[in-house]
Amino acid sequence: MLEQFKKTGKDALDELKKVSDTAALEQFRIKYLARKGRITQMLSEIGKLPREMKPDAGQLANKVKNEVTQAFEKLKIALMKSQDSQRKELIDVTLPGLRRDIGRKHVITQTLNELLEIFGRMGFDVAYGPEVEDEWHNFIALNIGPEHPARDPADNFYIDDQTLLRSQTSTIQIRVMENKKPPIRIVAPGRVYRPDTVDATHMYMFYQLEALVVDEDVSMVDMKTTIEQFIHTFFGPETQWRFRPSFFPFTEPSAEVDLLLKDKSGKESWVEMGGCGMVDPNVFDAVGIDSEKYTGWAFGFGIERLAMRKYGITDIRLFFENDLRFLKQF
């Protein structure tokens, strides 16, 4: 029996030397080391031997098993390393690489950059201002009196009695006119805040772009021409638009700008885009500009609204939800 154990071990080690791949190695494992393998069966036969032979037989069987198992594990590691090396050698470096998703600019940023580029070609400078404002710049200098409903605390984000998150980028116009003499020709982009009820067309934070021109002999004809050039450049030369009479405390006369747009069904309708008008003389007086010598005009559009009309976006909340399925379209 002991000679049989030695022969089983020798046969296993000799056979293992001929194994050259993982498939053959698995067959070897099943033949010798599995539950019904020859070495496992060899161990089970020890119990059939006479008592005086069992110690020597057990010692020999364990030695054979350990030698075969160690040789098996060593060969297994060597074959796995060889396979990994072969896989690396199979890489074709001439194939196109994997595309990396490196991100892109948000659709609002893209729209804003396009707007600034359009107005830059028209000769406008860009001006910025703080998002936390005082009542003077947000209301008083814009001819919005103490009793005006626009100053209602329910319609603004007040920080204290005299300070609030700006509700319009017109505050930047006031700051520019306070610190610069005419001629003035600027656009003012930025975020504004109003506690509106959130729905498909309203958000409590959104972006505006306002324009201001102040000089001698400026008229509504100049404003109309600028707005028309902007609309036809941004939306296309065939876009129809109109002025509609309106009222704003800081412009007189005032107008709304509407675009004629089609929905998915092809139905046309007029859609409001923003307000405009000639700067009210009271605003000039508040910032120390001679209203007898200078005139000016201003307009303001919501950047999300412009993007929605251009790209057919139906819900303003999509801009802020960070859904990659939406953002990857732009």
Cβ(192)–Cβ(169) below 8 Å: yes
Question: Residue 159 has what pLDDT?
Answer: 95
Residue 124 lies in a domain: yes
Identify the domain boundary among 39, 61, 89. 89
Give Cα 61 to chain centroid, integer Å: 67
Task: Decide if 94 is inside a domain.
Answer: no
Query: Are residues 258 and 289 both part of a single domain?
Result: yes
Q: Give the pLDDT confidence of 256-280 residue by residue, as tens digits.
A: 999 887 766 778 888 888 999 999 9
Q: Does 221 share its domain with 159?
A: yes
Domain termination site, one of 89, 123, 156: 89
Is residue 165 located within the same domain as residue 277?
A: yes
Q: Which residue has the tokens 């060899």?
A: 42
Cis peptide before 96 (omega within 30 of 0): no
Same domain, 85 and 115: no
154: left (phi over 0), alpha (psi -120 to 50) or beta: alpha
Q: Say what the pLDDT of residue 18 is.
A: 81
State whether 84 and 123 are in the same domain.
no
Considering the domain architecture, whether residues 170 and 66 belong to the same structural domain is answered as no
| Residue 299 maps to a domain | yes
Q: Domain check: are 66 and 159 in the same one?
A: no
Rounded CA gap, 124 and 120, in Å?
5
Let me know: does 22 contact 79? Beta carbons within 8 Å: yes
Whole-number pLDDT of residue 89: 56
Is 130 found in the same domain as 44?
no
**CATH label of the domain that carries residue 294:** 3.30.930.10
Cα separation, 69 vs 43, whole angstroms: 14
Q: What is the pLDDT of residue 15?
A: 80
Mean pLDDT, 10 residues at a time, over the chain (330 residues)? 71 79 81 77 72 74 79 81 64 78 88 96 96 95 90 92 93 95 96 93 93 95 95 92 93 92 77 92 95 95 91 91 89
Tokens standing for residue 167: 């509700």
- Number of structural domains, the chain? 2
Give the C-alpha distances (Å, rounded to integers) separating 66 from 20, 40, 54, 94: 21, 12, 18, 48
Domain that holds residue 22: 2-89
Same-domain status, 315 and 216:
yes
Last residue of a domain, one of 61, 89, 117: 89
Q: Decide if 99 is inside a domain.
A: no
pLDDT at position 103 is 80
Is 149 among the domain residues? yes
